[in-house]
Amino acid sequence: MTTAIIFDMDGVLVDISRSLNQAIIGSAKEYCRLRGKKAQFSPQDIQRIKNLPGHNDDWKVAARLASDALGVAVPVGDVADGTSLKHLFEERYLGVRLFTRFYGSRPKRAFPGLIDDEPLLAEKAVLERLRADHPLAIFTGRPRDQALYALDRLGITDLFSAIITRNDVKEGKPSPEGLLRLHELMGFETAYYLGDNAQDDMLAAKAANEIIGNSIVAVGVIPPACPDPDALTELFMKNGAETVLEKADQILDLL
């Protein structure tokens, strides 16, 4: 029986506490400042938003934080607009070099780029051990160019048989489209899907199972610096997780 292991990237394979989470806070804060509102945000605020359905996307999380602070709906916007939420986010996260490379123009403001401060959470030796017996895959909401950059920088891209990003699906999580694409590409009989979002990751697995017949075991992973692991664990289990791990490496104990 072929058993695949599918990983979400952020908070599972890659520590984003000093990168994407800081880009969320910085962009939401700056968006509010540009509109005359002084606002402060915390990791607790990020987790509160991510615990809502449909907020696996970091751009949407930042927009929701700004919306709550300003009392009006804030769109993600177009990266070409230097005052849009998306531009404020991407210039912080990517920095000048990668922003220019990925978008073909320079950002309005210069930042060094938080994307280069993303440690690997799962030990490479563990991933190599898993790879010896199981096909590995990734299903992430990142854009493909950003996902591949991060994986290449960590030296683990070649360990994965398939990588599905936001560019490869019409609908992001909690839609099961990405998991269904992986099922089609890899032909697995069963799979473990490890995600750090107790709403969208778990609901995507549940929706996929309704179509392909309970082939995917949903596994929650507590991300680093989670402000309330117990509450997140409870939400994971409520939304169908088979179990909850403190680190992705612990998947070895389930196999």
Give 10-residue mean pLDDT values along the chain (255 residues). Answer: 93 97 98 96 96 93 97 97 97 98 96 97 96 97 98 98 97 96 95 97 97 95 94 97 96 92
- Cα dihedral sign for 80, 86, 92, 95? negative
Q: Cα 149–11–147 angle (5° rounding)?
A: 15
Tokens matching residue 115:
């994307």
Are 112 and 232 in a shared domain? no
Same domain, 138 and 91: no
> In this structure, are 29 and 91 located in the same domain?
yes
Q: How far apart are CA 175 and CA 247, in angstroms?
A: 25
**CA–CA distance, 160 with 137 (Å, rounded to integer):** 5
* In contact, 24 and 39? CB cutoff 8 Å: no
> Under 8 Å CB-to-CB from 21, ≥6 apart: which residues?
43, 46, 225
Which pLDDT belongs to residue 1? 67
For residue 212, the number of C-alpha atoms closer than 13 Å in the C-beta half-sphere is 23
Output the six-digit token pair for 16: 């984003």
- Cβ pair 14, 118 in contact under 8 A: yes
Contact of 181 with 4, CB cutoff 8 Å: no
Stretch (H or E) spanning 45: helix 43-50
Nearest to 179, CA basis, from 157, 211, 144? 211
Q: Domain end: 116, 133, 154, which one?
A: 116
Q: Take residue 133 and report the two structure tokens written for it.
A: 């017996």
Same domain, 70 and 53: yes
92 shares its domain with 122:
no
Query: Token match 């919306």: residue?
Result: 67
Considering the domain architecture, whether residues 239 and 128 belong to the same structural domain is answered as yes
Residue after which a domain boundary falls, among 81, 101, 116: 116
**59 and 150 fall within a common domain:** no
**Domain shared by 125 and 238, yes or no:** yes
52 and 106 co-located in one domain: yes
The CA-based angle 49-94-174, given to 5 degrees, is 35
The DSSP bridge partners found for residue 195 are 220
Q: What range defines the domain where residue 95 resides? A: 20-116
14 bridge partner residues: 10, 120
Place of tokens 């030990």: 123
Residue 37: what are its φ and ψ, rounded to 5°? -120, 125
CB 204 within 8 Å of CB 231: no
Last residue of a domain, one of 96, 116, 136: 116
**Strand arrangement, sheet containing 190-195:** 162-164, 136-139, 3-7, 190-195, 216-221, 243-245
Supply the CATH number for residue 249's domain.
3.40.50.1000
Q: Do 125 and 96 sit in the same domain of this protein?
A: no
The pLDDT score that the predictor gives to residue 223 is: 96
Residue 63 backbone dihedrals phi, psi, to 5 degrees = -65, -40
10 and 37 belong to one structural domain: no
Check: CB of residue 169 under 8 Å from CB of residue 207: no
- Tally of domains in the chain: 2
pTM: 0.96
* 63 plus 103 within the same structural domain: yes
